Structure 1
Amino acid sequence: MITTKYVNYKQVLNLSGFHLIMISLWCTLIAVLFHYFNWQWMVIPWVPVALIGTAEAFLVGFKNNQAYDRLWEARKIWGGVVNSSRSLGSMVYAFETSNQELGKFDLEDRRKKIIYRHIAWMYTFREQLLVPSEWEHIKVEEDQLKNTDQKRNRLIKAGFPDYGRTSIFLNKYLSAEEVELQPHYKNFATYLIAQQAKDVNELKNMNAISEFNQIQLQDCLNEFYTLQGQAERIKKFPLPRQFASTAFVFNIIFIMLLPLGLVNEFAKLGDYGIWASIPFCITIGWIYIIMELVGDYSENPFEGLMFDIPMLSICRSIETDLLQMAGETELPDPIMSKNGVLV
């Protein structure tokens, strides 16, 4: 997530620098051919170019609108994780036991076990969402750079050492037996919630909590299943490629035709008009490219890039809240933004 008030020039160049260079070379090449070689046969009327640009603007606008919906839904999902996590923590520590035989320390250990496992679930859930899909930007160049965490940091130009530390969190908050089970489950986050339900049911059978308390806790766990499923739906079902690909192809066609129509119009102003067409052509093409790239990167909100949901920061915030509820005094440092980016 970008945390600065405005997107700075470094972030813009990081996003579209290569495209800007290619557009500049193409527009300059057309102007040179038109002026020095008198290749007037290659120019086209401005009207069809304008029509294509108008159609492309509508298509890119539709794509960006859908991409924003996916991004905002993802943020609401993680907002739900925050709220439900706090509810879980407050309920676990608010319920009083009616079992006089259950020792105070035993009950406290069981409470901490539920809280710790939930923290482990959050980091596991985040790690599973960061696994690249074949249509995402991280996946595109996976063969060139195997380490996806390095690829993310290279794309956002910031170093976040916590990217690949999920295993450390699991060893900290789970028992050794549960950690060893992780490789045996394709969806370890789902397993952790199931274990939470078993522990809650065990507390009910021990008369540590009432049946009503069990129902409330189980409803909270069911909410985590719902939120996890909603996030996985966004992760595993991309913006339909017929829309995404069509917008990209039409954008390329428009930019290729743009200088062919623009240079002829500016040539009516004289020789200087031919050269004046270059910056205008670059600006128009660059605007269309930026609109395309913003939507293209926003449609996948769980890649861990600068436009995405700051899942690591959210996890750390919830972790701190729950540890304080558990009476812990040694709290982890919050995740701070680096170079205007929060992950």
Structure 2
Amino acid sequence: MIVRKTLGLRQIYEFGGHHFIWLTGWMLLVSATYHFTQWRWMAIPWLPMSVIGTSVAFYVGFKNHQAYGRLWEARKIWGAMINNSRALGTMVKHFVASDTVNAQVVELAKKRIIHRHIAYLYTLRQQLLAPAPWEHVSLRWIFGSFNRKRHHLLLDIPYQEELAEIAGRPYLEPEEQPLYEGVANKATQLIDRQSADLARLHADGCMNMMQHIELQRMLNNFYDEQGKAERIKRFPFPRHYGSFSFVFVCIFVFLLPFGIVGEFSKLGGDMYWLSVPIGALIGWIFVVMEIVGDYSENPFEGLYNDVPMLSICRTIEIDLLQMMGEKNVPKPIQPRNSVLM
């Protein structure tokens, strides 16, 4: 997630500015051909070009709206994770108590539940970051290589200390860790383990029935939010919308210089050379609109438009540890190069 208000020239170039280079080359090629060959039949009337451009703009706008909807829903899911985690921490801290069970045993049970929940959040984050076949980091050839490098530069290198710190905090007890080896969905099994612990505490008289029901309802909320996040992760943006949007932009950009070179030639003299910068600018706007929507489709792939799951998990971790009175609390995640992951 980009956290600065405006993008500088460097950020604009890194994201889409390099497309201006080949667009300029394409516009220049057509204009030069028009100039040196005197092939006036190359010029396309502007009326059909304007119809195509308007249609493509509406289509790309619709795609971007739907892509942003996926991104915003993903952020709301993790916002609910924050709220539910805080509620779970408060409930565990104040609901679980007993006059019959040893107080130290009860405190250890509370700590185990809170620590397991923190492990659940980081585990879910890791599962959501696993590359899907349709995501940019899974593409072949230079496109996939470029985005894997970008992912590495955005997440792995800037946050290597934080990631190492997370790996060095064993929130799961040693005897519990083998239980999750080889399971298909470790996050789901962690919640199931939480439910079993709560049932045991209820049976031991550490909470009444209403408290147990409320805590179990909170665990079910995590299942709901996890399922929503997995739906976004595992169900791609309909490829007909995404693919045809790209095709339509390519068609428009291909025809663009043939349309505007004739319009500028009407100004007389060599004014048709103005079609090179103007055409490149128009084409660049359409291309950037397309790639903005394209990179907003998948909010869990570790690129610029991602939901900052690492930061959110750390925020919850800090809140829960401080609720339990622990002193060894990590620091909040800070943005790196104006990007918060």
Normalised by the length of structure 2, the TM-score is 0.94
Match of 1:180 among 175, 178, 181: 178
How many angstroms does 1:329 deviate by? Answer: 1.1
* Partner deviation per Cα, 1:34-82 (whole Å, 9 max, x = no partner): 1122232322111111111111011001101101111111111000000
Structure 1 residue 272: Cα displacement: 3.5
User: For residue 159 of structure 1, what is the aligned residue in structure 2?
Assistant: 158
Aligned length: 341
Offset of 1:306 from its aligned partner?
1.1
Paired residue for 2:106?
A: 107
CA distance in 2, matches of 1:287, 1:156: 28
Contact residue 30 and residue 257 of structure 2 kept, 8 A: yes
CA distance in 2, matches of 1:232, 1:154: 25
Q: Report the counterpart of residue 298 of structure 1 in structure 2.
A: 296
The aligned residue for residue 260 of structure 1 is: 258
Does structure 1 conserve the Cα–Cα contact (< 8 Å) formed by 2:137 and 2:145?
A: no
Paired letter, 1:109? L
- Please list every run of 5 or more consecutive structure 2 residues that lacks an aligned counterpart in the other structure: none
Correspondence 1:326 to 2:324: yes
The answer (yes or no) to whether the contact 1:156–1:341 under 8 Å persists in 2 is no
Q: How does 1:307-326 map to 2 (within 5 A)?
A: 307-326=305-324
- Partners of 2:120 and 2:264 in 1: how far apart? 61
Counterpart for residue 133 of structure 1: 132
Partner residue, 1:122: 121
- Pair 1:282–1:142, CA change in 2 (3 A): closer
Aligned to 1:12: 12
8 Å contact kept, 1:127–1:166: no
Alignment map for 1:1-343 (pairs within 5 Å): 1-98=1-98, 100-141=99-140, 150-154=149-153, 159-161=158-160, 165=164, 168=167, 172-343=170-341
Q: Distance in 1 between matches of 2:319 and 2:90?
A: 10
Q: Secondary structure at the match of 2:100?
A: coil
In 2: Cα distance, 1:188 partner to 1:58 partner: 42
Contact 1:70 1:301 in 2 (8 A): yes
| 2:243 alignment partner AA | S
The farther-off stretch of 23-32 and 79-88 is 23-32
Deviation at 1:158, TM superposition (A): 7.0
Distance 1:73 1:243 in 2: 19
* Structure 1 gaps, min length 5: none
- Rounded to whole Å, the distance in 1 between the matches of 2:39 and 2:155 is 42
- RMSD of the TM alignment (CA)? 2.2
Q: Aligned partners of 1:270 and 1:163: how far apart in 2?
A: 63
- Cα pair 1:123 1:166 within 8 Å, conserved: no
Q: What secondary structure does 2:303 align onto? A: coil
Change (3 A) 1:142 1:253: closer
Report deviation, 1:9.
1.9
Amino acid at match of 2:68: Y
d(CA) in 2 for partners of 1:157, 1:312: 12
In the alignment, the residues of structure 1 paired with residue 131 and residue 322 of structure 2 have an alpha-carbon distance, to the nearest angstrom, of: 33
- SS of equivalent residue, structure 1 residue 109: helix
SS in 1 for 2:333: coil
Aligned equivalents of 2:73 and 2:34: distance in 1?
49
- Counterpart CA distance in 1 for 2:75 and 2:299 is 9
Once the two structures are TM-superposed, the CA of residue 302 in structure 1 deviates from its matched residue by 0.8
CA–CA separation in structure 1 for the residues paired with 2:189 and 2:302: 24
**1:196 CA displacement:** 0.2
Please report how far the alpha carbon of residue 16 of structure 1 lies from its aligned counterpart in structure 2 after TM superposition: 1.2
Contact 1:95–1:209 (CA under 8 A) maintained in structure 2: yes
Residue 163 of structure 1 and its aligned partner are, at CA, apart by: 7.8
User: What per-residue deviation string (whole Å, max 9, x for no partner) do you get for residues 89-120 of structure 1?
Assistant: 0000011524x231111111100000000000
Structure 1 stretches of at least 4 aligned residues deviating more than 6 Å after TM superposition: 142-149, 155-158
Shift of 1:152: 0.4
Which AA in structure 1 matches 2:103?
Answer: K
Post-superposition offset of 1:172: 1.2
Pair 251,39 (structure 1): closer, same or farther in 2 beyond 3 Å? same
Contact 1:125 1:189 in 2 (8 A): yes
Sort the Cα spacing of 1:155 and 1:248 in 2 relative to 1 into closer, same or farther, 3 A.
farther
1:302-324 Cα shifts (integer Å, max 9, x gaps): 11211111010000000000010
Alignment check: 8 A CA contact 1:158 1:338 kept? no
* Residue 155 to residue 315, structure 1, CA distance change in 2 (3 Å): closer
1:174, distance to aligned residue in structure 2 (A): 0.5
Q: Which moved more, 1:185-194 or 1:141-150?
A: 141-150
Identity of matched residues, %: 47
Kept in 1, the 8 Å contact 2:136–2:147? The answer is no
User: Contact 2:136/2:144 (CA < 8 Å) preserved in 1?
Assistant: no
